[in-house]
A and B are shown apart, each in its own frame.
Chain A
Amino acid sequence: EIVMTQSPATLSVSPGERATLSCRASQSITSNLAWYQQRPGQAPRLLIYGASNRHTGVPVRFSGSGFGTDFTLTISSLQSEDFAVYYCQQYNDWPRTFGQGTKLEIK
């Protein structure tokens, strides 16, 4: 099973600032990585797929990068609605696996 490890567990950032979230896979997943945002009481929402492709309707301030085992989600200028939990997930191999999440909180 591919283990996905996210860091940090919690990230405190001020509105308008940049946030950088990391995700590492225990073995290569090429670019088969997705990022999701989850707000309280809601289902996860796809932000990025294929490591760097924005899903339909996702604001341009969200960007993804990486290949192989190391991946990054960057939010360029945080808005109030961006404070949420973010998960990465690999879909390169079975079973599909998620990271433990990064909680992005207001500083």
Chain B
Amino acid sequence: EVQLVESGGGLVKPGGSLRLSCVASGFIFSSSGMNWVRQAPGKRPEWVASITTSSNNIFYADSVKGRFTISRDNAKNSLYLQMNSLRVEDTAVYYCARDRKLDYWGQGTLVAVSS
């Protein structure tokens, strides 16, 4: 069974940093592209970043480019999102999701940015 478990969310002040993690199981992690998607309360999901299997290609939404960094450790079956210079508008539930078609999602971790 494919499982994705996110962690690392919390309450942070504007300008602060957080590092999200996603641990994968039930599939060959190193063979799957991975993604972060976020969803603010009452809004549609918003794609944040994607990374290919060997980290050779990385893509970011304009809204996070230069502030967020996606990475992965295939030996640990883990995906990460380093979030710096956080803004109030980054408040959302952050999900990791597998593959270009987002076929499996984690349960999400809440990031709240507020003073």
**What is the number of residues of chain A that contact chain B, defined by CB distance less than 8 Å?**
20
Tell me if A8 is interfacial: C-beta within 8 Å of chain B.
no
- Asked whether A46 and B101 contact (CB < 8 A) given A95-B47, A95-B61, A99-B44, the answer is yes
Tell me if A91 is interfacial: C-beta within 8 Å of chain B.
yes
Choose from A46, A55, A95, A101 the contact partner of B44 (Cβ within 8 Å). A101
Bitwise, A84-107 to B at CB < 8 A (1) or not (0) is: 000101010011111111000000
Closest B residue to A4 by CB, please name it: B44
Choose from B50, B61, B62, B105 the contact partner of A44 (Cβ within 8 Å). B105
Report A-chain residues with C-beta under 8 Å of the C-beta of B103: 46, 49, 55
Tell me if B100 is interfacial: C-beta within 8 Å of chain A.
yes
Report B-chain residues with C-beta under 8 Å of the C-beta of A46: 101-105
Tell me if B73 is interfacial: C-beta within 8 Å of chain A.
no
A95 to chain B, nearest CB (A): 5
Choose from A36, A43, A98 the contact partner of B106 (Cβ within 8 Å). A43
Report B-chain residues with C-beta under 8 Å of the C-beta of A43: 95, 105-108
| From B35, B45, B50, B108, residue with most partner A Cβ within 10 Å | B45
Closest A residue to B45 by CB, please name it: A98
Closest B residue to A95 by CB, please name it: B61
Tell me if A34 is interfacial: C-beta within 8 Å of chain B.
yes
Report B-chain residues with C-beta under 8 Å of the C-beta of A101: 44
A39-58 interface (Cβ within 8 A of B): 43-46, 49-50, 55
Tell me if B46 is interfacial: C-beta within 8 Å of chain A.
yes
- Per the bound structure, the CA–CA distance linking A91 and B45 in Å amounts to 14
Report B-chain residues with C-beta under 8 Å of the C-beta of A99: 44
Binding site for A on B (CB under 8 A): 35, 44-47, 50, 59, 61-62, 95, 100-108
Question: Sorted from nearest, which 10 A-B pairs have the closest CB atoms?
Answer: A96-B47, A43-B105, A49-B101, A98-B44, A91-B100, A46-B103, A98-B45, A95-B61, A34-B101, A94-B59
